[in-house]
């Protein structure tokens, strides 16, 4: 059965074949429980990315807070954080 109806999937199916990112995952669980696990994994990945971004932004703020910034450093920071230019 192929369906986007979550209620139907939870009521009828004992096994799911989930197609995503060019792979097939076989799941012996309800759709809702599988989806909850996916959300937990995403949340951890998001937290890791957020921490990395906060550290990087702190580094940039520290460099920008210096009294004199070398022009090459200014250009590198602009290119990295404003790739479309600054208006």
pLDDT in the model for residue 66 = 65
pLDDT in the model for residue 59 = 81
CB 53 within 8 A of CB 37: no
CA distance 43 to 64: 31
| Whether residue 76 has pLDDT greater than 60 | yes
CB 31 within 8 A of CB 6: yes
Q: What is the pLDDT of residues 38-75, one digit of tens each?
A: 877 766 777 778 888 888 888 877 777 766 777 788 78
Q: 15, 12, 11, 8: which is closest to 34 by C-alpha?
A: 15
Is the pTM higher than 0.75? The answer reads no
Across residues 80-85, what is the average pLDDT?
Answer: 74
Across residues 9-25, what is the average pLDDT?
Answer: 84
């Amino acid at each position: 059965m192929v369906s986007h109806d979550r209620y139907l999937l939870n009521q009828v199916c004992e096994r799911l074949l989930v197609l995503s990112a060019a792979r097939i995952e076989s799941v012996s669980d309800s759709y809702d429980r599988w989806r909850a696990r996916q959300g937990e994994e995403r949340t951890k990945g998001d937290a890791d990315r957020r921490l990395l971004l906060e550290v990087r932004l702190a580094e940039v703020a520290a460099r920008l807070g210096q009294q004199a910034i070398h022009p090459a450093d200014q250009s590198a920071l602009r290119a990295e954080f404003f790739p479309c230019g600054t208006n």
